[in-house]
Each structure stands twice: as C-alpha cells, then as structure tokens.
Structure 1
Amino acid sequence: MTTQTAQAAARVFHRDQLDAWGVPFDLADADNAAEFPEAAVELHREQVGSRRWVSVHELVFRAPDDGKAYRVTYQQGLTEHQDGTDEWDDRDHVVGEEVEQRPATVMEWQRVGDHPADDEQPRPHPAPRILDDDEYEAAYAAARGTLGRHAARVGSVVLAEALTVALAAVGILAPAPEPDPDTCPEMFADREGDWHQCAEDPGHDPADGHNDGEWSWPHGDTYARPEPDEDDQAQPTDAEIVEHARTIGLAEPEKAPAFVKAVRDHLAAEEQQRAADDHARHLAEQITTLGKARGWSTWAADYIHPDREFVDTGAPEPDEAQQQ
C-alpha cells in the first residue's frame, strides 16, 4: 500500500493586496462580511511570540477572491517608541499558508494534585541537537555578518554568548569544549547552553553523579537542568523579567505600567553598563598602545579594562612616576 503525503498549499500575497483587503488590522468579521464583500474576513488571531521590541502574531483570514483560508504572521511594536514598526518586516511579499479548521488536542492548566492517567503522561523533553564545529562556525559567521559594522563594537565574546543562548532557546547546543584531562571528563549543558565539566577525580564512581562545585547532574545526562543556586535565583534574566511583567499585565492590568517601567529601567541600566564597558575597553587599548610606544607602565589599562584580570603590584614610586 502506498501512503501519499499532501504538500502544504501556499499563496504569495503582495503587501498592497493585503492592505486593500484590510489585512492585518482592518478585516471584516463573520457578522459584517456581507457588508464588505471586498474585505478579508478574520477567522482567528493570537500572539505566538515576542522579541525584544515587537510581539509576533498569527492571523487566519478568508480571502475574498477565492474563499480560502490563509494563515500569515505579522509583528507589532511593544511600546510607543516602535509605533512605526512595519507589520510585514519591510517585506513586499508575504507567504500565506492555506489552512482548514480541524479538531485538535490542546494542553491546559489544571490544579496541582490532578494527575492524568499513566498512559496520558507527557513525553519527556526531547534531547537537544549538538552542532558540530563546522555548523557552529557557520552560524557564528552568519550572526557576525548580520551585525555588519556593529560587530566590532559588540565584540566576539558577547556575540558568541548571545549566539549560544539563542541556539539553546530552541534546543540546539554549541559544541562542547575539550575536557580538562585532570578531572572527570563528563559534561552537561545548562539552560543557557553553557557547558560544565565534572570537577571530581577522573576515576570517581559515576553512579554518585557528577558535580562541578555549583551544578550537579546524574551520569549519562548531557543536558541536565538542575535548579540554580540562591544567588542565581535572586538575579532573574531579562527574558524572565519581561515574561513576568507580561503575565502581571494580563492578570492585574492596574500593575502593568509599574512593571513596564521596571523592565525599561532594567534594560536601560544594562545598556548603560555595556556602553561604559565599551568605553573602558577603548581607553585601555589607548593606554596600552601609548605606554608600549613610550616605555611606560600599562598597569592602569589592566585596571580599567572590564575583561582583564588586574593584579595589584603597587603604585609606582614618586621618583619613578615623575620620570615617566
């Protein structure tokens, strides 16, 4: 018996055509569709994601020319500063996937203590895919190329960290580093995609699990997600802060403005810190270059550089400083 799989039907719309139909913001609905025969009819709309400055939405509409239902994705700015955000991300053509309504099983929130039957237990989270070196280098090169002239200001370290976190968010891990031969070689990646190596002796009993002094995980688990320590719990990530603010805004609208302000202040403070670090790096490089050219001490460069370890060897003697 031959099994045939139908390919998903799609249609390419020009943005002017969608605008003429009122897509995505001025559609007709089931009640007034007869009054506006040239408008698309809204069938379903929901927010499906968000990025730093925009929210991502999915819209299903019925086209007035062929009567078929299509699904498209558009974006909206999250604050008044993004009012000029283009809903189609500056694309002239938008791909609409032809869809139809069918019954489906969905996940729902239930009271703690209400457990499903054994045969209804959710499946374990799939193991992430680990990139090989060539794949990671290609992803890094693509990310750096996208930044263009801004890549130098961001720096290779920050770019690599951002890429690692972004990949981990969708279940993809950067290649693990070469293990230190002096300790147990077992490693695992945390939820941000950073790899940790067991700090126990190489010959320790793996049945006891693995530990690097901060994290612990069972043997054979390369993607453990242990609870962070108390210090980490006290420092939520930007994504956690934004999600918490969004949740509060939905449940308690009167508290939303205060949370939005807190998120903005937090992000602004981090941006200021990044700018200060960039300035310190630039100043340190200038001090190092000038010091080497004139034979001066460059300890001040190490002191102000945010990425260098500073070892205090003592300030120069007054006579030495005067000679310099």
Structure 2
Amino acid sequence: MNRNQIVRVAIPLFGTRVSPRCIYSDQMLLVSIKDNEVVSRKIIDTGGMSDEERLAQLVNLRIDLFICGAIEEDFIERADSFGIRVIYNVAAEVEDILSALLSGRLETGFGLSNQAGALASSVRAILLDREPVEESAQKKDRIDCVECIDRPCMENKSCTNDTKDLFLADEYSDLRHSMEVTADISAETDRKLCRIAEFIYYCLGMEYKHIGIAFCVEMFQEVEILTRLLRRFFKVSTVCCRIGGQTQHDAITAVEGMCCNPIGQARVLNSLKTDINAAVGLCVGCDCIFARYSEAPMSTLFVKDKSLANNPVSALYSKYYINDILKEV
C-alpha cells in the first residue's frame, strides 16, 4: 500500500469475523488507512443486497480493496474492471485481517490454506480436550488407521496390521479396468486435476457414454454450467431433487414445502440406463439414499455447503468452525 495515500477497505462482517460468504452478510466494515495506520472505521448495513447492488455500493464508496470470504469469480472480475482489488477466501477475525494487511501479510486464502498447518494443530488441541465417545477398551478390537503410530501406508509399504484378508485380488477381477483407469488418473504428474476434470477423465477411460446427474434445486446455476461442459463429451440426463412434486406435509413430515425425492431421482436415471450417476449438491441424507437406489455406479461430484461456498473441508482448518460445531453437538 502507498503510505501517503488513503486506502479505502471494505470487509463484509459475520460478527467479529469476515463473513464466509459476502452475499449473506448484513453488515460491512469500512476502513480508511493512511501512513500504514487505520484512521477511520464505520459499519454500514448491507442486508438483502444482490451481488450487483453490493458491487455498485463498493464503486460508489470508492473502495480500493475488498476483503471477503468465498465469492463468485465473476464478481472478482467485475470489481477489477472498476479498479477494486479483491482478496478472497479469507477466514479470520477482522482485527487479525487488519493486522496482516498493515504488515503486508494479507493475501488470498489467509486463515485457510496459508495457515492450514498451524490451524490444524489448534483444531486437534480443541478436539483432544473433548471427551471421546468411545471407551479406550473398545478401541483395542478394531482397526483405526488414524490412531496408527507407524503409518507404513504413507511410505508406500504394506500395512503392519493383520489385514491380509481385506485385499483379495479375485474380488477386483470385474473391477480391474476401473482400478487401472483410477490409477492412471492418480499418476497424473504434469498437472493437478480438479474434481470435475478427474470425473471426465474417468468416464472417458471407462468409455461411458451416458451420465446421469442427480442435483439439488439450490444448485441449478452450477448444474447448468456443469451439464453444458459434460455434454461436450457425453450424453447427459439431469434430475432435480424435487422430481415428483410432492409436499413434505403430504408425503413424509408435517413441515411445509416441497419434499426431496432421492429415490425418484435414482429411479428416473435407472430407467434411462445411465452408465454412471453423479450426485451434485444433495443433502447428506438424500445423498445416502440416492447412492443406495442408484443401479449405475455413483460418485458425489461436489457437495453443498451453505456456509463455506460448497467447500466443507475448509471448516477443518478453522478454530471458529470447529468450536461452533462442538457447541451445537
């Protein structure tokens, strides 16, 4: 930052932290910085605003730097066109963010990827303080790879436990091709494949022609993009979670609203004779039910996480989320 110039910073709030998703933030902190010091602060209301309204607000406020959690790439590109720099995927207390900004340490991923090791250690400490559900005596009679001390698997060595009966080559005879394709993809060293690319390569390697997608109604936009991408390679059939149109009150529970129908999704795709099915954004219970009733092989392509921009693993790197989970359980 230019020390002699006033830099206007905006941070969407969730309590005393940056909001995990700015679109759900009802307040935003405005900070002015000069000579590497915070010279003013102000909190404004942003509840109910669309992305377009939020961007227009940033432009009108002449914001130079927008610090946020998860955010759409399109928003970042549009903000950049107005000269607004965006530092995103930030997960931390506001005071820690400002301290990092003033010291030149703040960058995209602050509080998540950049501090994953330290945060993971802190999270482990939190969990170790919590009374375990199982008694230690019960642990002796079962396999627990996490508690394994030697971990020979990390060095590509055979497991030292008495598990010879767990890997029987004959059981993989019908799955040999699938395992070979999987191994080829895992051995990719020239580039790091994203999950969707890995799914496409697997389907091509397996010579699949017809893909089924069982998706959540809340992810129509993402599935539309995904479907158009996959249709460059395959025939694609899509089924929304609300197929059948029954209300929860009439069908299962006394809760008002449309009822999800994972069995119906599976039956539709079964009738279409898909080669493989992908679950996209289904709730945990619906995901399990769909997997049970799907006749074709099934893979969860990506999941829904309303708090962490569909990236649930991020919670494991955050003391805030771990503590919040422990309070709820």
Shorter-chain TM-score range: under 0.3
Normalised TM-score (structure 1): 0.23
Query: Quick check: which one's helix share is greater?
Result: 2
